[in-house]
């Protein structure tokens, strides 16, 4: 079955009705200021954050094991990604087809994603089917089959996806950026693996990854919905209680950024080019992260209202899109951006981007720009909590970032407290593009390899 390696499952028509009912129940939730977050600790010491909501018969759970793709074996990038595609391919007395048929009959949703630092699982079920659905979840986490035939089938799907990525300039530019920026560091390896590395993955590699990485001490859990603390405690012990107490993780070193600009061009026969650019940013725990977050919104994170969009697209029509975002990882902070444009406009677009970054580094933001950004970022925060699934996602992210249970109450106040002086100081610290790393996929004009 095609599943999380392509971002979603293909669902059988027989499951459409119960799954549609589940989806409708997910559409509404209560506002953030009405939430009561409880810390639940099971008898075996497993912790979770819980928001009870008994107004709808549904349970949303998200949990993550820290480690992610950084724990791929040397020479085999993509193992974590491979595992994420295999966890619902059979367990216990259920083969792949029977396991997924049972999930669908129960209208349960189960998706897994491997990122640089985490393996994240999203799980949803109706209250009436909770007990049976939880059994499937426990089986998938504690004893996945990784049968040889299923491994080969998923391998073929991953390989097909990688071959598509080779033709995708956006993915090519992204992979190359991480390779140029991080070199031999774990972040320099492609999360999805390579054709050669995926071909070399064995069922033993998958079992070894799960045995070392799925443990209780590197687990964070968030739950929202129709369950109380006592029931959740029992559920936690049932699903996770049999896992090892401690994960066996390979240490990942902090990134030491090179103070040099680099530029790499991947020649691809396309009428337009895709550019990824970035430099050292801030980790989430950095005291300057909130002003940097506001700054990024104004510079390139605010869609059509952002400075870069106005300068590059609206005023000059040079690009189809241009954007920036903060990308805080566990062992590095990144300020990232991208632009897509015709080959003839690549050089000019990057010149404008560099100029605008330099201007912001020197000048910061005006009071009006800061006020507009605050109003949007504060006003839109509630949209992150308009479904139970989104609430669970936010609670998990707050745990992974170690922001504290009161972060939801503090967050808007922290944004409101930022001044133009704070922004100017952080802009000078963060935004100077002198160490800009640029990767381009296409046939660009006015730009070439440099600093490699």
Residues 308 and 430 in one domain: yes
The model's pLDDT over 164-203, given as tens digits with 9 standing for 90+, comes to 999 999 999 999 999 999 999 999 999 999 999 999 999 9
With H, G, I as helix, E, B as strand and everything else as coil, classify residue 326. strand
Q: State the greatest distance between any 2 C-alpha atoms of the chain, in Å, as a whole number.
A: 64
User: Domain check: are 151 and 212 in the same one?
Assistant: yes
- pLDDT one-digit tens code per residue, 85-98: 999 999 999 999 99
Question: Could you list the residue range(s) of the whole structural domain that residue 77 is in?
Answer: 4-240
Give the three-state DSSP class for 334.
Answer: strand
> What percentage of the chain has pLDDT greater than the value 90?
88
257 inside domain: no
Does residue 6 carry a pLDDT above 50? no
CATH number, residue 58: 3.30.830.10
- Tell me the whole-structure pTM to 2 decimals: 0.91
Strand partners, 276: 338, 439
Cα–Cα dist 432/261, whole Å: 11
* C-alpha count within 13 angstroms, C-beta hemisphere, residue 323: 11
Residue 75 in domain: yes
275 and 154 in one domain? no
Residue 451 lies in a domain: no
Indicate whether 282 and 407 sit together in one domain. Answer: yes
Residues 344 and 424 in one domain: yes
Q: Is 248 among the domain residues?
A: no
In a domain, 255, yes or no: no
214 within a domain of the structure (yes/no): yes
Does 53 share its domain with 157? yes
Q: Starting at the earlier edge strand, list the strands of the sheet with 262-267.
A: 262-267, 437-442, 272-280, 333-342, 319-328
Choose the final residue of a domain: 205, 240, 275. Answer: 240
Q: Is the pLDDT of residue 12 over 80?
A: no
Q: Report yes or no on 354 lying in a domain.
A: yes
Q: What is the pLDDT of residue 452?
A: 59
Residues 47 and 174 in one domain: yes
Count of structural domains within the chain: 2
Instruction: Determine the 3-state secondary structure of 239 from DSSP.
Output: helix
Same domain flag for 135 and 191: yes
For the chain, what is the mean pLDDT?
Answer: 92
Neighbours of 266 (CB within 10 A): 18
Same domain, 227 and 111: yes
93 shares a domain with 156: yes
Render the burial of 367-390: b for 16+ CB within 10 Å, e for the rest.
eebbebbbebbeeeeeeebebbbb
Tens of pLDDT, residue by residue over 240-258, are 999 999 999 999 999 999 9
pLDDT at 35 over 50: yes
Dist. CA 27–CA 53, nearest whole Å:
14
Strand stretches in 203-346, DSSP E: 219-225, 262-267, 272-280, 319-328, 333-342
Residue 253, domain member (yes or no): no
140 and 284 part of one domain: no
Q: Both 195 and 319 in a single domain?
A: no
């Amino acid at each position: 079955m095609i599943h999380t390696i392509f971002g979603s499952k293909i669902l059988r028509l027989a499951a459409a009705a119960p799954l549609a009912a589940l989806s409708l129940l997910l559409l509404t939730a209560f506002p953030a200021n009405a939430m009561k977050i409880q810390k639940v600790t099971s008898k075996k010491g497993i912790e979770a954050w819980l928001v009870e909501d008994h107004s709808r018969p549904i349970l949303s759970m998200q949990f993550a094991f820290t480690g992610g793709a950084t724990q791929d074996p040397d020479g085999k990038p993509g193992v974590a990604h491979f595992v994420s595609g295999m966890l619902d391919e059979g367990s216990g007395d259920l083969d792949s087809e029977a396991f997924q048929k049972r999930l669908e009959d129960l209208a349960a949703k189960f998706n897994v994603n491997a990122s640089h630092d985490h393996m994240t699982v999203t799980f949803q079920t109706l209250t009436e089917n909770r007990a049976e659905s939880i059994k499937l979840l426990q089986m998938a986490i504690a004893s996945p089959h990784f049968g040889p035939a299923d491994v080969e089938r998923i391998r073929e799907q991953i390989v097909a996806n990688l071959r598509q990525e080779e033709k995708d300039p956006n993915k090519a530019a992204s992979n190359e950026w991480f390779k140029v920026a991080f070199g031999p560091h774990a972040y320099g390896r492609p999360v999805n693996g390579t054709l050669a590395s995926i071909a070399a993955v064995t069922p033993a590699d998958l079992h070894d990854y799960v045995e070392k990485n799925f443990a209780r001490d590197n687990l964070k859990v968030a739950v929202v919905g129709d369950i109380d603390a006592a029931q959740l405690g029992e559920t936690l012990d049932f699903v996770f209680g049999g896992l090892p107490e401690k994960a066996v993780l390979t240490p990942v070193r902090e990134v030491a950024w090179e103070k040099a600009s680099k530029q790499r061009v991947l020649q691809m026969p396309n009428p337009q080019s895709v550019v990824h650019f970035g430099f050292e940013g801030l980790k989430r725990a950095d005291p300057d992260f909130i002003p940097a977050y506001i700054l990024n919104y104004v510079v390139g994170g605010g869609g059509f209202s952002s400075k870069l969009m106005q300068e590059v697209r609206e005023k000059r029509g040079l690009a189809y899109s241009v954007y920036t975002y903060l990308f805080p990882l566990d062992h590095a902070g990144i300020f990232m951006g991208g632009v897509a444009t015709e080959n003839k406009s690549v050089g000019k677009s990057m010149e404008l981007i560099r100029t605008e970054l330099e201007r912001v580094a020197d000048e910061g933001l005006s009071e009006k720009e800061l006020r507009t950004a605050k109003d949007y970022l504060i006003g839109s925060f509630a949209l992150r909590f308009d479904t139970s699934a989104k609430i669970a996602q936010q609670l998990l992210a707050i745990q992974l970032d170690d922001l504290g249970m009161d972060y939801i109450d503090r967050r808007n106040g922290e944004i409101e407290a930022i001044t133009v002086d704070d922004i100017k100081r952080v802009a000078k610290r963060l935004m100077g593009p002198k160490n800009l790393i640029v990767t381009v996929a296409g046939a660009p004009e006015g730009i070439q390899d440099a600093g490699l």
